[in-house]
Amino acid sequence: MVEFPKGFTSHVANIGIKDTTNDLVIVAADKPVAAAGVFTKSRFAGPSVDISRRHVENHAARAVVVLSKNANVANGPQGLSDAEEVVAGVSQALHCDPSDVLIASTGVIGRRYPMDRIRAGLAQVPKELSGTDAISVAQGIMTTDTVHKIAEAAVAGARIVGVAKGVGMIEPDMATLIAMVFTDAAVIGDDLDRIWRRVIDRTFNCVSIDSDTSTSDTAVVLASGAAGRVDLSDFEVALESVCLSLTKQVARDGEGAEKLIEVHVDGARDREQAKTVAKAIVNSPLVKTAVHGADPNWGRVAMAIGKCSQYTDVDPEAVVIRFGDLEVYPRPIDERDLSKLSDYMRSHDIVIHVSLSTGNQAATVWGCDLTDGYIRINADYTT
């Protein structure tokens, strides 16, 4: 059991959205608290995203409701009306204003919520939430995840607990599919928003499973303040540790994944260049399949760097490519090194390190290998 930080309680239930696993999650504070949110930039963003983006503009919220296994995306005005009804039902149960409720949805696109089941489920929400176990919340938001994802940290007497879900349709233009972080540290909304955006950019924004951006990406943080004030720099470090752990958990559990890929690019002219090159590597189907097959074909990394043709300052003669600690380019590798590389490629965690020699900035991204399991999961997703 991982208890929520002080000031938060939850309700988790199965209301029959798709199957018999839990699919309704509500986490609430006793009153509106500091909050921040970052959401997908998809032009097909669902109504859950639109509502939550609007409700968190004032950097405050009382509760978050998550419906899993149905994204409620591309359903027109009726989809928006359904999402607003869910928010209204939660606000009625918690005796708060609907604008204090954030909502997230995840699952199949283009299907309406089963509103009769949802109405019945919301009618069973207790007047006072009593759940304190964050693990049940992490499990309740899962769809095709094979394991729940949770992380925690402490800072000066305060705690931070985060949960996330997401294993496919992940190339965030902001965050991972759904992430919720709760803390009892006292941080005002404006500060929380600035810190959250910086942390998101260094963690969830650096994970990619399949290069596809979800319509439902939602990442929110709520701070109850029950543990008192903390140093903001220390808080940001602790918050980033939680989000980084969740980022790696998401990458490791990518649909069908068997290996974690970490790509570190340094010696770049700026962080954007480093991140762009790193993403080109981690998103390459040829790199991902080589990692899956333990094929020591390092030339695919060179290919991925080369297709970033907008960077004319990248000189191939100055680039260095390493797998773990083993340099494979530009120093020619002999048969012994090739054997070492083959052994390394059989590891469960693969680190690819590229130095561009165009500056002194760096970025790290995370992803996974591409397996036949990924194909099967997504070929049969709705059937």
CATH for 260-379, options being 1.10.240.10, 1.10.3720.10, 3.40.30.120, 3.10.20.340: 3.10.20.340
Q: Is 20 a catalytic residue?
A: no
Q: What is the pLDDT of residue 175?
A: 62
pTM equals 0.92
Buried b (16+ CB within 10 A) or exposed e, 226-253: bbeebebeebbebbbbbbbbbbbbbbbb
Average pLDDT value for residue range 107-123: 95
Single out the catalytic residue among 176, 218, 364, 371: 176
Per the listing, tokens 């029950």 go with 226
Average pLDDT value for residue range 237-250: 96
Domain boundaries, the chain: 8-252, 260-379
DSSP character string of 215-275: S--EEEEEEEEEEEE--HHHHHHHHHHHHHHHHHHHHHT-TT---EEEEEEEEESSHHHHH
Q: How confident is the model at residue 383 (pLDDT cuts 50, 70, 90)?
A: low
Q: How many whole angstroms separate alpha carbon 302 and alpha carbon 13?
A: 49
Q: What is the pLDDT of residues 219-239, one digit of tens each?
A: 999 999 999 999 999 999 999
Structure tokens at 350: 């693969």
Q: What is the pLDDT of residue 127?
A: 86
Q: How many whole angstroms separate alpha carbon 25 and alpha carbon 178?
A: 12
User: Would you say domain 8-252 falls under CATH 1.10.3470.10?
Assistant: no
Q: How many whole angstroms separate alpha carbon 27 and alpha carbon 119?
A: 18
Q: How far is CA 135 from the centre of its chain?
A: 17
Q: What is the pLDDT of residues 365-381, one digit of tens each?
A: 999 999 888 888 888 77
